[in-house]
């Protein structure tokens, strides 16, 4: 099956790593994919390593930098972005006409919109892979009219969209997957550095965005630092997206760490293209997001590495992390709850080990790439035919 993948990002965030997991399992067996990117970048390099063809259809700057997470564009910025978007859609249509795919698979909200616009004008069936909560008064009608089928990465993501749809049966939940060989308990660690002088180590793996809860993590670290005087707190990640970065956020977090007296205990690693070694270097991995996570991929990756995890009881996280079975949950946004859960794990090596082993078993048995790829293939092969454009 010929699949044209539209990605609005060229970086390696969670959505892009999930796409790579699918293509690694499906390319050449279930699908013949060709990826269209807005610019060259780390995602293109990763696709080359997988042997997946890709090319750039340059995305205009106004569209590339537009973000629903910034509280809206600057005054006067909407109309240029719309005009640029229409021109970009026309170029995509020309490219898709040449590729002549069976499926147009969109991997981000900007491309979901573009896919809906292009649907009536191209031959391939449009399939959204929805990986984010998507609020807005027009989202439901767009989802009813635009794609032939929709894949959601969790029940939470699916239900948030289905509430606004007349055709909620268009949506199928297919959980993200994790490669158990790439993310395994055994393997290399990061190069020796300041992190190796600290123990135990607690880490947050997340791109720089305020909703990811870095400040909450630092507040929990402050609560724990006196009890565990040799503990280290690692912030793994940095600015990655053209549209999602927040100017000065890294400096703000460094200032928070200094104000808490943790400048020698909190380590900022910056963006890391290879994340598995950092999971292995940690004793506890947390998700501190202050808004519901659509899925919480970093927790699944950490579980596959056999690490004990702590996540908020909100969004898609409880669909992956089961409290006191394969991880611990706390009430989202509460630093004292996050600190209490981490404290339990740091005080009990046996609990850390037991939950880490259970997490590894969950990742391998429930979230395998092969199962993930087969389920996506089934959706794009069969369900897309059930819901033609109306």
pLDDT score, position 239:
78
More confident residue, 314 or 138: 314
Same domain assignment for residues 145 and 206? no
| Positions of E strands within the chain | 2-6, 32-37, 54-56, 103-106, 125-130, 149-152, 171-173, 201-205, 232-236, 266-270, 284-286, 308-312, 328-330
Same domain assignment for residues 240 and 373? no
CA dist., res. 169 & res. 86, Å (int): 30
- Compute φ and ψ for 111, nearest 5 degrees: -80, -25
Is residue 325 situated within a structural domain? yes
Which domain does 283 fall in, by range?
194-366
Distance of CA 233 to the CA centre of its chain: 22
How many structural domains comprise the chain?
2
For residue 364, give both structure tokens.
Answer: 């391998």
The DSSP result for 237-249, as a single string, is B----TTT--TTH
Same domain assignment for residues 316 and 225? yes
More confident residue, 198 or 382: 198
Same domain assignment for residues 39 and 121? yes
Is residue 50 situated within a structural domain? yes
- The answer, yes or no, to whether residue 205 has pLDDT greater than 80, is yes
CATH number of the domain that 90 lies in? 3.40.50.2000
Same domain assignment for residues 204 and 345? yes
- The answer, yes or no, to whether residue 70 has pLDDT greater than 80, is no
Same domain assignment for residues 39 and 144? yes
pLDDT score, position 60:
84
Q: What is the largest CA-CA distance in the chain?
A: 63
Which is nearest to 17 in space by CA: 173, 144, 143, 206? 206
* DSSP H or E segment with residue 277: helix 276-280
pLDDT in tens, 295-333: 999 999 999 999 999 999 999 999 999 999 999 999 999
pLDDT in tens, 238-248: 876 655 456 78
Same domain assignment for residues 102 and 239? no
Please, what is the angle between helix 249-259 and helix 214-225, to 10°?
20
* DSSP H or E segment with residue 142: helix 139-145
CB environment 54-73: b (16+ within 10 A), e (fewer): beeeebbebbbbbbeeeeeb
């Amino acid at each position: 099956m010929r699949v044209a993948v539209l990605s609005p990002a060229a970086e390696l965030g969670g959505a892009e790593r999930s796409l790579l997991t699918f293509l690694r399992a499906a390319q050449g067996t279930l699908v013949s994919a060709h990826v269209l990117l807005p610019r060259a970048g780390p995602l293109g390099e990763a696709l080359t390593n997988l042997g997946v063809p890709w090319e750039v259809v340059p995305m205009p700057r106004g569209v590339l930098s537009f973000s629903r997470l910034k509280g809206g564009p600057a005054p006067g910025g909407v109309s240029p972005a719309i005009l640029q978007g229409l021109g970009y859609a026309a170029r995509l249509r020309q490219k898709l006409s040449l590729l002549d795919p069976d499926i147009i698979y969109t991997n981000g909200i900007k491309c979901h919109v573009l896919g809906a616009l292009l649907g009536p004008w191209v031959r391939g069936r449009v399939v959204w892979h929805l990986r984010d909560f998507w609020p807005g008064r027009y989202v439901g009608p767009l989802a009813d009219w635009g794609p032939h089928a929709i894949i959601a990465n969790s029940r939470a993501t699916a239900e948030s969209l289905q509430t606004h749809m007349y055709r909620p049966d268009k949506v199928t939940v297919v959980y993200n997957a994790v490669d158990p060989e790439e993310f395994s308990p055994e393997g290399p660690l990061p190069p020796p550095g300041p992190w190796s002088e600290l123990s135990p180590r607690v880490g947050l793996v997340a791109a720089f965005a305020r909703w990811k809860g870095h400040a909450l993590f630092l507040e929990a670290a402050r609560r724990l630092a006196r009890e565990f005087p040799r503990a280290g707190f690692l912030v793994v990640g940095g600015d990655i997206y053209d549209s999602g970065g927040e100017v000065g956020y890294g400096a703000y977090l460094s200032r928070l760490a200094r104000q808490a007296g943790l400048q020698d205990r909190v380590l900022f690693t910056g963006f890391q293209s290879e994340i598995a070694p950092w999971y292995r270097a940690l004793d506890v991995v947390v998700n501190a997001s202050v808004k519901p996570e659509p899925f919480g991929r970093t927790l699944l990756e950490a579980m596959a590495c056999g690490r004990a995890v702590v996540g908020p009881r909100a969004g898609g996280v409880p669909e992956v992390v089961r409290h006191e079975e394969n991880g611990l949950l706390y009430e989202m946004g509460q630093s004292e709850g996050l600190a209490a859960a981490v404290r339990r794990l740091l005080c009990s090596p046996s609990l850390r080990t037991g939950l880490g082993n259970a997490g590894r078993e969950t990742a391998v048995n429930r979230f395998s790439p092969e199962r993930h790829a087969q389920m996506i293939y089934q959706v794009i092969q069969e369900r897309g035919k059930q819901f033609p454009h109306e």
